[in-house]
Structure 1
Amino acid sequence: MPSPKPAAGSAAINKIAPLRTLLPRYLALAYAVLIVYASLYPFTGWRDAGLSPIAFLDAAWPRYWTVFDLLINVVAYLPLGFLLALTLRRLPGRWTPAFTALLLGALISFCLESVQTWLPSRVPSNLDLACNTLGAGIGALLTIWHGERFFLRVAQMQQRLLAPIPHAELGLVLIGLWLLTQLSPETILFGAGDLRHLLEITPAVPYAAHSFFALETGIIVCNTIAIGLIVRALLADHYPPWLALTAFFFFALLIRTLAAAVLVDPLNAFAWLTPGAAYGMLAGGVLLSIILLLPVPLRIALAGLVLMAGTVLVNLTPPNPYSAAALATWQQGHFFNFNGVTRLAASLWPFLALPYLTMLGRRS
């Protein structure tokens, strides 16, 4: 008697199951780093108040709290728990990955709350620890119901969309971090690599309209070319690069617009559309279209060169008065720590992308 044919859904799963992807691992690591930075930002004023770092565990219910604060603490750790459990999915047993992810999320939160004892701008709280642990637990539980399906979808999309190059998942995480930098309304459009606020360096070039216009245009041209070439290196060859890159940059501008509208003021949603930004995107798009015709090794080398050039220009550009006003507005309320995360990502992104480009250049 012939055996019954497998269902269509089972065949699809069996076809995808052998695929391997490290994307959940990279995302979990990147998200954990962002959680650590957001929890300890701004990393200044460290002092010993004579308290035990675990004294907050026996503290009474916090005097000042809001439902919004509790939800933020839960939601912030939910992706961490989900990604950790997905990364640990090969552990034996159905519940072991989720339980381990819950313990790791609780441990990360406990360590960060303890370290906050030495930060005057932060207040360690057992309520925050409980909410963070709850969020990690909810995220971990989601992997039991939807984790395998999500993993298979990610593997399938990676096979279909990304080029078969080593460490394509790492490049995808870098692109995601770059999109995160567009949530900073006080930075120059597409600008990254500004180290002056980290190193406390005073800008050497005074602000003047004509010089700022030239530097802003150069920054946007360099970064449009660099990020466009990186995205092109990750894309599979059977997708039209022009259409994919246009959609990608449109999405980045949409993020920038919505961030300015929500975090600053709806009236300033298109404040990024300056004459320098318009000319920079136009010139960068034209040059990118020409460079895409070159061989892959030359494209990767040019991506590294223009990325370094854009980083130098960012550190030479004088501060924009609008940027200072936007930063002052954004730092009010609950988005202060998120502002620190996006500024850190914007500052370090070129220095993370350059080694990746070097690795791609050796493989090409």
Structure 2
Amino acid sequence: MEQDQPPLTSPADDQTPARQPLPRPTRLPLYLALAYLVLISYASLYPFANWRDLGLSPLAFLGAAWPRYWTAFDLAVNIAVYVPLGFLLALTLRHLPGRWSAAVAALLVGSLLSFTVECLQNWLPARVPSNIDLACNISGSAIGAVLAVWKGKPIFRRVAQLQQALLAPIPHAELGLVLIAMWLLTQLSPETLLFGVGDLRQVLGLTPAVPYAAPAFFMLETGVIVCNTIVIGLFTRTLLADRNAPHLVLFSFFMLALAIRTLAAAVLVAPHDALAWLTPGARLGLLIGGVLLSLLLLLPAALRIGFAGVALMAGTALVNLTPPNPYSEAALATWRQGHFLNFNGLTRWIASLWPFLALPYLTALGRRL
């Protein structure tokens, strides 16, 4: 009986490499662009107080003469701040037809944003609208958009590959990554409790419910740090791909957060206050929170998200009961004397709202797992 002959193959066929799977589409540029747009708007209009009408046209600043007092640093900052916005917007709009369509659209959005906030500054006594600022902002948007067209495609492809390698294939993992980045940004505020987010008392103008006493402050501070250590640890673990070493990644993440906190205190307050956050309550809270987090990491993903939500609500309640920290008040007084007033308000605003952004995300994610 004649046997079937095996198909003929050439050596070149055997050496043909397998095609690499395409990375999953990523929405990270979109989420980053939206977050950055909101942050710029807030920083440009802070402190949102004492609005008044001077009877001038909101467009009067367009014809103003060159300002008497200006510095090259101010011009550079106004350009640099809008470069990431133009870059991210152009990446977000990359599917528009034509090579330069995304760049033009990004430039228009950046220009419209700058024009809008400059007009609104007419009604804010602490802000001065400037045609120079507008021109610098537009220039920054243009630079960022051109960079996106020039180098955006390989950067975008690399980001998508890293996302596929590092993040779990869960819905809107990119949004969770942006929330994690926002949480890290809150650590730049040395006047808040360590890892403390969700304090609405200053936002709503509320007085502290509990008077300051050392034992009560110690217990509440410890509870706040325990809860938020669990929250951010479980949140980050949920975003990680299973093949990554979660304990090592989380340890590195917390070390990064503490390094940011230390550096911010040293630079914005004083070098000798770099470790002022390391109070007895902080040490105990980090210890207890770390132990509990290690145990909770053994649970399935759905249960981890549930515990993260409970800890988030508990931590938010505790931080609103914690009396003001005397060190925090001293740090705030020192910081506000410099040029970081807008940045101070921005970080506090993010810290106040972060739990109310994270909880809906965790809730929606838990329903899909």
TM range (shorter): over 0.9
Contiguous gaps of at least 5 residues in structure 1: none
The aligned residue for residue 118 of structure 1 is 123
Q: By how many angstroms is 1:232 displaced?
A: 0.5
| Matched AA of 2:127 | R
- State the 1:63 CA deviation: 2.0
Q: C-alpha distance in 1, partners of 2:305/2:327?
A: 34
Aligned partner of 1:94 in structure 2 is 99
After alignment, is 165-174 or 291-300 more displaced?
291-300
Shift of 1:75: 1.2
Instruction: State whether structure 2 residue 310 is matched by structure 1 residue 305.
Output: yes
> After superposition, what is the alpha-carbon deviation per residue over 1:298-346, rounded to whole angstroms, capped at 9, x for unaligned?
1111100010000001100111111111112222232111111111110
**What are the residue-to-residue correspondences of 1:34-53 with 2, within 5 Å?**
34-53=39-58
Are residues 50 and 16 of structure 1, via their aligned partners in 2, closer, same or farther at CA, if it must alter by over 3 Å?
A: farther
TM-score, normalisation: structure 2: 0.94
CA RMSD of the aligned region, Å? 1.8
Looking at structure 2, the residues matched to 236 and 43 of structure 1 have their Cα atoms a distance apart, in angstroms, of 41
Distance in 1 between residues matched to 2:108 and 2:20, nearest whole Å:
33
Question: Where has structure 1 moved over 6 Å in runs of 4 or more?
Answer: none
Q: Is it true that 1:193 corresponds to 2:201 in the alignment?
A: no
The structural deviation recorded for 1:242 is 0.7
Match of 2:247 in 1: 242
Q: Whole-Å Cα distance in 2 between the matches of residues 40 and 271 of structure 1?
A: 31
Partner of 1:350: 355
One-letter code aligned to 1:101: A
CA distance in 1, matches of 2:98, 2:140: 22
Partner AA of 1:60 in structure 2: A
TM-fit CA distance, 1:16:
6.5
Correspondence 1:130 to 2:135: yes
1:207 and 2:212 correspond:
yes
Partner of 2:90: 85
Match of 1:149 among 147, 154, 162: 154
Q: How many pairs align?
A: 357
Task: For 1:275, give the aligned amino acid.
Answer: P
- Tell me whether 1:32 sits opposite 2:37 in the alignment: yes
Which residue matches 2:186? 181
Structure 2 residue 328 is matched with structure 1 residue 328: no
Q: Return the index of the structure with the highest Cα Rg.
A: 2
Runs of 5+ consecutive residues of structure 2 not aligned to the other structure: 1-9
Secondary structure of the residue that 2:191 maps to in structure 1? Answer: coil
Relative distance call for 1:16 and 1:89 in structure 2 (3 A) is farther
Gap change, CA 1:16 and 1:26, over 3 Å in 2: farther
* Alignment-mate amino acid for residue 56 of structure 1: F
The one-letter amino acid paired with 2:103 is: A
Q: What's the CA shift string for 1:44-90, capped at 9, x where partnerless?
A: 00010001111100011112222221121111111111100110111
Instruction: Please point out which of 103, 109, 122 is paired with 1:104.
Output: 109
Please give the per-residue CA displacement for 1:164-204, whole angstroms capped at 9, x wherever unaligned.
11111111011011001111110000000000011000102
Please give the secondary structure, in 1, of the residue aligned with 2:208: coil
Distance 1:16 1:322, change over 3 A: farther
Counterpart CA distance in 2 for 1:126 and 1:198 is 31
Q: What are the within-5 Å matches in structure 2 for residues 156-305 of structure 1?
A: 156-305=161-310
Q: Contact between 1:164 and 1:236, CA under 8 Å: does it hold in 2? A: yes
AA matched with 1:334: H
Aligned partner of residue 186 in structure 1, secondary structure: coil
Q: Could you tell me the TM-score, scaled by structure 1's length? A: 0.95
Cα 1:333–1:306 change in 2 (3 A) is: same
